[in-house]
């Protein structure tokens, strides 16, 4: 009887070690990367795009089915959208007035002639880069789509923090972008290497551009 109990205890111990090993493996593969963006005064900067740049030699997972850039109260909603390259973006017009949406941002330029509702098919953004949106009827309308060669991206919250999941797709760097950031002199990319911390901090040195809805001094389409 004692021998049987010892064998059972050994089996239970091995099973426990196996389960623990599986848990540790899963935890390691599901590690999150925390990114904080601060201004020159050390204050958090919200609504900044944060994304992991994938190794160009590795195929990315397919993008999400689609994304939505709506139009409400003569504004693009959201003002700033981040999508993976290859994503279809729908441009419904939920406003009470018609809009004529366009972008001259090559290679992702497009035109959606005057419409309401869901008159046009989605636009597929196959190339990475910044897409600046405007309306040919309402000059004050301004929006952005950041197209990234990455499947891991987010925007910072009110505390200036974004959390990105790290999986098995090799990545080379963590990058940030916002229409409010003047890129001249700023560090907008940090290299990811073995042994590096899972906490990245971007401290901006220059003055931020005014937010689009802040009134006087905010960016307008005519600024481009």
Burial 18-50 (b: 16+ CB within 10 A, else e): eeeeeeeeeeeeeeebebbbebeeeeebbbbbb
Residue predicted with more confidence, 3 or 152: 152
Q: At a CB cut-off of 8 Å and minimum separation 6, what does 185 contact?
A: 205, 206
Asked if 76 and 133 count as a contact pair (C-beta separation under 8 A), the reply is: yes
pLDDT at 28: 33
Q: What is d(CA 143, CA 126) in angstroms, rounded to the nearest whole number?
A: 18
* pLDDT category of residue 195 using cuts at 50, 70 and 90: low
pLDDT at 214: 52
Lowest mean pLDDT across 100-104, 106-110, 134-138, 209-213:
209-213
Q: At a CB cut-off of 8 Å and minimum separation 6, what does 169 contact?
A: 54, 55, 58, 60, 61, 151, 152
Neighbours of 75 (CB within 10 A): 18
Supply angle C-alpha 214, 35, 22, rounded to 5.
145
Nearest to 48 by CA among 184, 164, 154, 203: 154
pLDDT at 222: 45
pLDDT at 56: 81
Percentage of the chain modeled with pLDDT above 70: 79
Rounded to whole angstroms, what are the CA distances from 204 to 158, 194, 201?
16, 25, 10
pLDDT at 197: 65
> Dihedrals φ, ψ of 156, to 5°?
-65, 150
DSSP string for 70-87 = EEETTEEESSEEEEETTE
* pLDDT category of residue 196 using cuts at 50, 70 and 90: low
pLDDT at 12 over 70: no
Average pLDDT taken over every residue of the chain: 83
The CA dihedral of 57, 61, 65, 66, to the nearest 10 degrees, is: -40
Q: At a CB cut-off of 8 Å and minimum separation 6, what does 109 contact?
A: 102, 103
Percentage of the chain modeled with pLDDT above 90: 64
pLDDT at 169: 79
State the pairing for strand pair 171-177/49-54.
antiparallel
DSSP structure class, residue 221:
G
């Amino acid at each position: 009887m004692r021998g049987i109990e010892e064998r059972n205890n050994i089996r239970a111990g091995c099973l426990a070690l196996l389960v623990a090993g599986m848990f540790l493996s899963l935890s390691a593969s599901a590690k999150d990367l925390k990114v904080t963006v601060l201004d020159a005064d050390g204050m958090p900067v919200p609504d900044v795009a944060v994304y992991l740049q994938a190794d160009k030699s590795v195929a990315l997972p397919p993008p999400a089915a689609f994304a939505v850039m709506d139009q409400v109260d003569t504004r693009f909603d959201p003002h700033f959208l981040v999508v993976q390259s290859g994503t279809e973006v729908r441009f419904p017009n939920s406003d009470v007035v018609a809009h004529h949406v366009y972008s001259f941002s090559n290679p992702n330029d497009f035109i959606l002639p005057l419409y309401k509702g869901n008159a046009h098919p989605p636009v597929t953004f196959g190339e990475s880069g910044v897409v600046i949106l405007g309306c040919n009827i309402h000059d004050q309308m301004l929006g952005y789509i950041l197209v990234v060669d990455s499947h891991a991206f987010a925007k910072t919250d009110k505390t200036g923090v974004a959390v990105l999941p790290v999986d098995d797709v090799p990545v080379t760097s963590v990058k940030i972008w916002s229409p409010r950031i003047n890129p001249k002199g700023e560090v907008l990319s940090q290299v990811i290497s073995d042994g590096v911390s899972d906490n990245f901090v971007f401290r901006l040195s220059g003055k931020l551009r005014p937010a689009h809805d802040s009134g006087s001094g905010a960016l307008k389409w005519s600024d481009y």
